Each structure stands twice: as structure tokens, then as C-alpha cells.
Amino acid sequence: MTDERLITDDWIVDRILEREGRAVFSDRRDDAGGPTRWGITQETLTAWRCRPVTALEVAALTESEARQIYQHRYITAPGFYRVGNRRLRWLLADCGVLHGPTRAVRWLQSALGVQIDGQLGWLTAGALWAADWRVVFLALCEQRINFIGEIVTGNVADQDRDGVPDNTEMCKGWLARATSFLEEAA
């Protein structure tokens, strides 16, 4: 289990960058995300810069800008910076990166038994403060793993035509990433 005092927003972004392959540029035909560097897709960079970007611009993305994007889109904007338990904040940010911040908030709200609207507002925050973080943490992990199962069984596209659905090929990495958080609740 990670010492919670070490977990800062910068530390969280470091872990995400490690999991996303750091500076590696990828533009694989079978990756629905398209051109990606630092784990930032062309679509995300387009939204961040408020204008269409090219694959070459994605390839030239700096670590500094990638860090700003992660901090803003996956910690600040969805309100995860307000989550007092840092391990839970880390999990929510990581879920937000892979599955979207709104979905991560919905999973949190489901785990807390509050109205599910995808917004981390006062009702959700209040319920979170009163909850056992480990119970919420494990419920989020369970929802994430179930969602990965839905992705894999629901999409059988095989763009690289190797006889194995693309999401099935990605499943091992997604599950390893999701289950790596389970030791944090120990």
C-alpha cells in the first residue's frame, strides 16, 4: 500500500504518465483513440487547444502540456481535487483517464448511494466524507472491472484482422491496470 502522504496531484499525474507510456507516440489503426502521445489522444488535444490538431501536433506534445491536461481534465475539472482520501482521488483520476471523468463520478455516486448525475457536487462530497473510503474504493474497482468486461464482450471489431477482437487484445492491460489498485485498499 502506498503511503498516503506521498500521494499528491503531481504524484498522481506521474503514475498516469507511467501507465500511459510516457513520451511514446502511437498511431495504430486498431486503436480507437487514434494518434496518442503521453496518453493524450488527438481528440483530447483538440478539445484542450480549442481547435483541430494534426497527428504531427500530437507527436510534438510536450510533457509539460500533457501534465497540464491531466491536472485540469482529470483532477481539477471533475472536482477530484476535493476528494479527501488521496488513494481514492488517484483511483478516480485514473478511471477518468481511461473511462471518462463523468463515468468515474457516476461510479462514485453509485458506490455512495446518491443521485447519479455525473457531477461531483455537495451532495456527493458530503456522502463521501461520511463513507468508509475502503468500501467506496472497492466498489469503484468492481464497477471498473465490470465495465471492462462490457467493453470486451460488447465490441467484437477486429481491425487488424488477426482473428482476435481488438478489445480482447487490450483486455489484459486494462484489467492489470484496474486490479493494480486493489492492494491500495488492503
Give the Cα separation of 43 and 186 in Å (integer): 37
Give the Cα separation of 109 and 127 in Å (integer): 9
Find out whether 177 and 19 touch, Cβ atoms under 8 Å: yes
pLDDT tens for 33-71 read 899 999 999 999 999 999 999 999 999 999 999 999 999
Residue 67 sits in a domain whose CATH number is 1.20.141.10
Looking at residue 159, its pLDDT comes to: 59
* Residues ≥6 apart with Cβ < 8 Å to 80: 74, 89, 92, 93, 96, 101, 104, 120
Q: What is the pLDDT along the chain (186 residues), one digit of tens a residue?
A: 888 889 999 999 999 999 998 899 999 876 778 999 999 999 999 999 999 999 999 999 999 999 999 999 999 999 999 999 999 999 999 999 999 999 999 999 999 999 999 999 999 999 999 999 999 999 999 999 999 888 877 765 555 565 555 566 677 778 888 888 888 876
Looking at residue 112, its pLDDT comes to: 97
For 148, the domain range is: 4-185
* Residues ≥6 apart with Cβ < 8 Å to 164: 158
Looking at residue 149, its pLDDT comes to: 86
- Number of domains, the chain: 1
For the whole model, what pTM was predicted?
A: 0.86
- Cell numbers 488521496: residue: 86
Looking at residue 179, its pLDDT comes to: 83
Looking at residue 169, its pLDDT comes to: 65
Looking at residue 177, its pLDDT comes to: 85
- Cα dihedral: 51, 57, 62, 66 (round 10): 40
Looking at residue 151, its pLDDT comes to: 80
* Residues ≥6 apart with Cβ < 8 Å to 71: 9, 13
